Structure 1
Amino acid sequence: MHPHLEATVPVGRAINPVSSTNWEGSGAQPDIPCAAADFLAHAHAPALARLAG
């Protein structure tokens, strides 16, 4: 190995204590469910409202 190169191997896995599963293969559930094609509009409006106070 080169002195400026590092290799790592993951040894842990995130597990939900309630369901005993993780998000691998299924993804994380969004806070505001919507179609993938509409996500920008659904995310933009609440973000602007929060910024406006």
Structure 2
Amino acid sequence: MVRILTGTLVEAGMGKRDIASMMELLKAKNRESAGFLAPACGLLLKEVRYE
């Protein structure tokens, strides 16, 4: 899911997508309407905290 959200936010930052459409995408629960899938090679889990 992080990769999908990242790809969609990158498209919004590039002006290819309206930021307001993010809520609509999340409510629709439709992967096809989201942005491109960001590559996994840049993802890193830095820390996990449990309180």
Interval of TM-score (by shorter of Structure 1 and Structure 2) = under 0.3
Q: Structure 2 length normalisation: TM-score?
A: 0.20
Q: Structure 1 length normalisation: TM-score?
A: 0.20
- Compare relative contact order (CA 8 Å, sep 6+) and give the higher one, 1 or 2: 2
| Higher share in helix | 2
